Copies of this chain bind each other. A is one copy, B any other.
């Protein structure tokens, strides 16, 4: 396999090896494109193609100019590339919306479970060794912003998607956060598409706000089963309401993690 690596692939491979070996670390500068091209014996355009890939994947950022801050810098920001990937994958009809929703159910149930358990643990242990209590300030701020009555549907749903992403971030799991970030645009897409067919947006938005508050309350109370259940109903409910298909409720998996009811 991999008969002969194309020029840009050798560049990508070289950079990947440098990352793995530790020669390149987040924060470091990549050599200038021209230098890299000469060093690897390829054309500058091939170097650029590899750098472009890494940039879209969220592994580095580039900026023109001179001095520190310019050039290609390793950043490795999670979700940066996953977002582009998921968005394009959905655009190309690669992912059925139902699968996106089901994956949300699984991941978000896990997220709020972890958050609630961390919260409960922070309560039980008086010890102030490490602040285990999850930081929900960002999600709460988003909820406050969503109270504004002047929001359009699109604006509301954008904040909604940000709220769910913020919960994932608060859980601290970077892989889940990255995946959720990737799904975000897909989520916003189907949410917005479905919202146009709702009987009463005002009514629905009020319900969504209340559900969000309830989820946060359950987390802060350390009630993991409740948080899990609320999140499931929140996501599945909106999907069912906007897509007229009750398939999700049918099999009703309690998502991931531990069984809810024994």
A residues engaging B (CB < 8 A)? 8, 16, 19-20, 24-27, 45, 48-49, 52-54, 56-59, 61, 68-69, 73-78, 81-82, 84-85, 87-89, 91-96, 99-100, 102-103, 105-107, 109-110, 113-114, 117-118, 130, 132, 134, 171-179, 183, 225, 228, 251-262
Contacts and interface: CB of A to CB of B under 8 A. Distances in A.
Contacts of A76: 89, 92-94, 257, 259
A75 B93 CA distance: 10
A81 to B, nearest CB: 5
Copies in the complex: 2
Nearest to A44: B45
Contacts of A95: 78, 174-175, 178
Given A99-B176, A103-B179, A178-B95, A85 B57 contact: yes
A78 B89 contact: yes
A117 to B, nearest CB: 6
